[in-house]
Amino acid sequence: MKPYASIAGTMILLLAGVHYASAQQTFTICTGEHESACKSHDVYLYCYVKIVPVATKMCKDLGLSGDHNIARLNTYGGNKCGYSIDRVVCR
C-alpha cells in the first residue's frame, strides 16, 4: 500500500483505495529508494520526503488533532539514500 509518493520532488497524496481504521493510532513509515527493500512498514515514502507533514496529515485523517510523536526505530544503508524506519504515534 503506497498512500504517499514523491514525483519530481513534489509530494502527491494518493488516498484512493486507502482506508485507515479510526482506532489505529500508531503506524510505521519506511523511507528509502525502493519499497521492496523496506523492512516491515505501514507507509512507504520515497527518499527525502519529510515525515512530519505526512504524519500530521495521517493523524488528522484518523480524526485526531494531528499531534504526534515520531521515534526513529532503525536506519540502514543501501541504494540511493539509505533507509529509515520510523514509528508514528498519533495523539
Q: The domain containing residue 59 runs over which residues?
A: 24-90
Distance separating alpha carbons of residues 75 and 46, to the nearest angstrom = 14
For the chain, the domain total comes to 1
Q: Is there a domain that residue 4 lies in?
A: no
pLDDT at 5: 46
Q: Which run of H or E residues covers position 24?
A: none
Distance separating alpha carbons of residues 38 and 88, to the nearest angstrom = 16
> Which among 85, 53, 89, 57 is positioned nearest to 70, based on CA atoms?
89
Identify the band that residue 74 occupies on the pLDDT scale cut at 50, 70 and 90: very high
pLDDT at 8: 31
Q: Is there a domain that residue 39 lies in?
A: yes
pLDDT at 40: 95
pLDDT digits (tens, 9 = 90+) for 3-59: 454 433 333 333 333 444 444 599 999 999 999 999 999 999 999 999 999 999 999
**What do you get for the CA distance between the two ends of the chain, in Å?**
23
Q: Is there a domain that residue 19 lies in?
A: no
